[in-house]
Amino acid sequence: MADAIRLVLTNMPTVLFLAALAIAWFRRNGTPADRFLSWLLLLSVGAEMIWGGFFHVFLPQVAAAQIGWQVSPFQFEIGVADLSIGVVAVLSFWRSLSFKAAVVLYVVLFNIGVAIGHVRQAVVNADYAPDNFGLLLLLTVIKIPLLAWLLWKAHEEQGTAVKAR
């Protein structure tokens, strides 16, 4: 049982991503894109960033070791940023599509920077630690187009897509 708990806790981003997709799949309220977008923002962005932010702020040794870094004062800053956007992403679950759009824009831009930084660390410093160049990076990269596409589809479903001129 302890091994199962450890497996879930060390793979929390994957668990939250898959849980968001599964819940959105089985729930039938709202339009499909908005439903998937909402659950991904709640769990795979919100809860995940609160989870990661907690480790960066309160357990920096653990977070640094998983990423393959040394403990740094910058971890507190990224931890606070993660906690902040995590809370806003959780709140977006109950807010309008416009509110979700602002969250998605931030998350997409942030994740692009995160992905570039982690790939750079792998190439320049041969840092292939699990949370630097592994499944977490893959999920980060997947969420960039997925969140943007779901936002676009949700706007279309609501009939508010921007018309090409």
Number of domains in the chain: 1
Q: Is residue 163 a part of any domain in this protein?
A: no
Q: Is residue 162 a part of any domain in this protein?
A: no
**For the segment 22-76, what is each residue's pLDDT rounded down to a tens digit?**
999 999 888 999 999 999 999 999 999 999 999 999 999 998 888 888 999 889 9
Distance CA(122)–CA(143), nearest Å, equals 20
Q: Is residue 15 a part of any domain in this protein?
A: yes
Q: Contact 50/90 with Cβ under 8 angstroms?
A: yes
Q: Is residue 165 a part of any domain in this protein?
A: no
**For the segment 106-147, what is each residue's pLDDT rounded down to a tens digit?**
999 999 999 999 999 999 999 888 887 889 999 999 999 999
Question: Domain range for residue 60?
Answer: 2-157
